[in-house]
Amino acid sequence: MFSYRHGFHAGNHADVLKHAMLVALLRYMARKDKAYWYVDTHAGAGAYALTEGFAAKREEFNNGVGRLWPQSAHAQHKAIVAPASAVATPALIVDYLDQIAAMNPDGQLQFYPGSPYLAWQLLRDQDRMRLFELHPSEIDILADNFARTDKRTLITKANGFDALRGVMPPASRRALTLIDPSYEDKQDYARTLASVADAMKRFATGVYAVWYPIVSRAESAAFPAQLRNLGATSWLHATLQIATPSADGFGLHGSGMFVINPPFVLEGLLQEALPWLCDALAEDDGATWSLEAYIP
């Protein structure tokens, strides 16, 4: 169960969708002065080097954030040519790239912020961050990456599915929770559903963002409907596929984000951003996107 290292995939197309939406959710949570908690059930290492280590071996970021980086106002290195487009970069993507630029002040794309680092960059003094990770190597790197943070951040070596039960409801009664296991173990789909269902019973008004891979697996295909059937009063479901599924059934050709209790502004931001992202990251004619929402 400890074979998965997110560093291999840092900054790929799935990270682009997940993290661009996460930034928008964090921005929304900060609209009110009242404190909120950010909870990350599978925090990983927190931040990643792109020029060495795991990420440099596969360079998946070249077909993800690497394609978008030239659109950033902060980019200085343009060896990777962005797709030509007459459409202005959507606001959701501009904010996402700005957060990456904060980690790369010289304009060179050398580091990529994972979800904990993105949240930490946007955290206010009154907010709190709870990070869970079970991988014995990742948890050490995560702790080292946040060694200089203050009392706002608490890092725990724990199974995020189980740990979520212990922090819901949060003391602030406001929270954004990201649940994004690797799903290499197909039981992660059922574990995610059970964890979200339990959290909703404990804290019905929380915002829950669930990432999942779009792969040639029955569990993946059934997952969105199962999330809808949990009975949330409002939800949003966004997907981005960058290629036709491979004939052998292997590989990650897309991903989805299912948000329970989404902010009302998110749907409009995604209506603008998803077609732009699909064009920018497409690898073949099979690239597509979708957006569904039920927000009474």
Question: What are the catalytic residues?
Answer: 180
* Torsion sign across C-alpha atoms 38, 114, 87, 290: negative
Q: Please, what sign has the CA dihedral across residues 217, 252, 221, 247? A: negative
3-state secondary structure of 272: helix
C-alpha–C-alpha distance, residues 295 and 283, integer Å: 32
If 0-12 CB within 10 Å is exposed, 13-18 middle and 19+ buried, where does residue 112 land?
buried
- What is the distance between the terminal CA atoms of the chain, rounded to a whole angstrom? 40
DSSP bridge pairs for 255 = 213, 240
Which token pair is 126? 């009154």
Closest listed residue to residue 71, CA positions, set 286, 277, 235, 228: 277
Helix (H) or strand (E) holding 269: helix 266-281
Residues 237, 224: Cα–Cα separation, whole Å: 8
Contact 31, 123 (CB under 8 A): no
C-alpha to C-alpha distances, 31 to 18, 25, 28, 269, nearest whole angstrom? 21, 10, 5, 16
